[in-house]
Structure 1
């Protein structure tokens, strides 16, 4: 059985401290469930940022990873969440990838009474039981009761 690949969309790679402290526990939690994690900041470390065109190369590499992954785990903290994460999430929704959202930010950024984020973010989740795809802590990521565990366990 091959492991499913999950693209980890997050803004945590722009800061050395966030990259060192916030990314590893998320990657470890996903890997512990059996996922092969594609973390874009790590995967793009071969790009020479001093060369003209580096931004296009990174964007294309990330787009190809979103196209080729099985699902996306998107960190959607902030008000609003990081625009790059939102673009990656939009691509994944359009490509009909499995979508999982992580938000441990207590602030709401929505006009909806039901959803804690812009309603379009939830267009890639089921109408009923969307909460199974929405995580508010790392402990929840490990839960056998949530959608990520079931998705990764499915043959």
Structure 2
């Protein structure tokens, strides 16, 4: 990687579907990730200039988002909800299949699991190490920059 080129991270979330969430929540996550020196690829900003009246718009958006997942260096997914947003789950599955580093954020206190060991569907943890997977899971915005957590270590590697 060129020293002058920031690593890219795809921000998978459902927050772009709501005007309130887009205005209030997305900027906090984008800011926290950019503070680490990352170039954040937020799909609603990158691929949101779509004419919804135009035939085929949904296919084009999905293809662009998938291409961004392919091209990004890593993926940060907000996995709130029970279950989490299905589009975010597809993006995570693609990133896992591509061998991308993934990082999960969940501050939703509700249980969403099929395992006593993991807080979410066990298949999401196929993309994380078996030992110390907790270092890749975030439950508070302030943890994103924590130097002992996986994202900050990945940025510095």
- TM-score interval w.r.t. the shorter chain? over 0.9
State the TM-score, normalizing by the size of structure 2: 0.96
Matches within 5 A, 1:57-72: 57-72=60-75
- Among 121, 131, 136, the residue aligned to 1:118: 121
Matches within 5 A, 1:126-145: 126-145=129-148
Q: Is residue 16 from structure 1 mapped to residue 22 from structure 2 by the alignment?
A: no
CA RMSD of superposed structures (Å): 0.6
Structure 1: runs of 5+ lacking an equivalent: none
Partner of 2:155: 152
Of the structure 1 ranges 42-51 and 22-31, higher mean CA displacement relative to structure 2 is found in 42-51
1:45 CA displacement? 2.5
- Distance in 2 between the 1:27 and 1:141 partners? 11
State the TM-score, normalizing by the size of structure 1: 0.98
SS in 1 for 2:16: coil
Q: Is residue 88 from structure 1 mapped to residue 86 from structure 2 by the alignment?
A: no
Partner of 1:76: 79
Q: Size of the alignment, in residue pairs? A: 154
Q: Is residue 102 from structure 1 mapped to residue 102 from structure 2 by the alignment?
A: no
Of the structure 1 ranges 75-84 and 109-118, higher mean CA displacement relative to structure 2 is found in 109-118
Moved over 6 A (4+): none
SS in 2 for 1:100: strand
